[in-house]
Amino acid sequence: MRTTVGIIGAGPAGLLLARLLHGAGIDSVVLEARDRAYVEHRQRAGILEQGTVDVLRAAGAGARMDREGLRHDGIELRFGRRRHRVDFPALTGGRSVMVYAQTEVCRDLIALRFAEGGPLLFEAEALAVEGADTAAPRVRFRHQGREDVLECDYVAGCDGFWGVSRAAVPAGVSRVFERTYPFGWLGILADVPPSHDELVYARHDRGFALLSMRSPSVSRLYLQVPEGTEPEEWSDEDVWRELERRLGTADDWTLRRGPVTQKSVTPMRSYVHEPMRYGRLFLAGDAAHIVPPTGAKGLNLAVGDVVTLARALAHRKETGSDELLDAYSATCLRRVWQAERFSHDMTALLHRAPDATAFEDRLQLARLERITSSRAAETDLAEAYTGFPLG
């Protein structure tokens, strides 16, 4: 099998890259280790930056998002039982975000791929990337019980943190920057309308809490829990009681309860692999970087990566120049590190470390007071949350 761009992974990064390349007249093959049902149902991020929304629309993948997604023009910060709304359009010149789950983005892109695009092979497990530093890289993969080879001009590693792509970069070339946090997020999905029409980020002495949603009838809520916590350690009643405590306000706001349909724990880490390019292998999304979910940046960073890569490949096709391909890693990493900074800052702002001192608690509150009393500080948060420039 041969193609111009071999794409490993049919998450949002790989699927969107295939869509963008199709629009530029560049052929590709997408290999995905899991089956279609798994890809279309795995729960992941749900906040799309303004730039991500614009890219999906331009790629012809925004129709259902515009019908069913929930536009959000702000978030609410809570601390000391007080509430403060951050107004995105007023602070950023009109930008907003969209609540539309990664699951739905993947469904839309898969449907378009099968209707208008090229090959997308499910249950095709990539085994190795070979010859990444040559003019003829190859992807060995297993599909329908037999091994095969995908020959290509370029390989896009969109196969996540545990995929094989990053392993093709020699240890002597790689540099890794990472931090593991001593807490995680216990998340629930509940069949109940959200208790607020925008996301609520709450800082509490007992730990962070987040009120989010998947739809007008499904709530997504999170609690900070110690690292290593298992979901079954928390009963549904314990979760609701703790959410009420941490999200509580001095007014008459109340938290709506409903049946819990899913419960899981997300570990918290920051990770960056440099470079994001080795020869003709280009890493994108979680294959190259991980951010804690506090800043809602993971999916959006992946979109930024593949927009940059698609633009570079289209430039190569049109002009014969490798200039943008050569700049891929540096271009992406500028945005990645800004997102890492913002995600770390939001995490430090709202989570209570297990060994936090009274002095550190007061500094945390002082930072929140600064954001809620200074338009400049509030604008910095709003600009970062709604998204850094793509590419």
Read off the tokens for 335: 């945005």
Name the catalytic one among 72, 204, 289, 351. Answer: 72
Q: Is there a catalytic annotation at residue 231?
A: no
Q: What DSSP letter does each residue of 16-60 carry, written as one string?
A: HHHHHHHHTT--EEEE-SS-HHHHHH-----EE-HHHHHHHHHTT
Query: Is beta strand 218-226 parallel, antiparallel or unpaired with respect to 209-215?
Result: antiparallel
Q: Is there a catalytic annotation at residue 293?
A: yes
Q: Is there a catalytic annotation at residue 72?
A: yes
The dihedral sign for the CA sequence 53, 54, 55, 56: positive
**d(Cα 371, Cα 202) in Å, to the nearest integer?**
14
Name the catalytic one among 201, 222, 278, 328. Answer: 201
Residue 171: which residues within 8 A CB-CB, separation 6 or more?
Answer: none
Closest by CA to 261, choosing from 212, 190, 186, 194, is: 190
Name the catalytic one among 137, 204, 293, 328. Answer: 293
Name the catalytic one among 289, 297, 328, 351. Answer: 297
**d(Cα 190, Cα 251) in Å, to the nearest integer?**
24
Whether 78 contacts 196, CB under 8 Å: no
Give residue 369's Cα distance to chain centre.
28
**d(Cα 16, Cα 30) in Å, to the nearest integer?**
11
Whether 211 contacts 224, CB under 8 Å: no
Read off the tokens for 19: 């869509």
Residue 278's Cβ-count burial label (10 Å; 0-12, 13-18, 19+) is buried
CA angle 234, 259, 73 (to 5 degrees): 95
Active site residues: 72, 201, 293, 297, 385
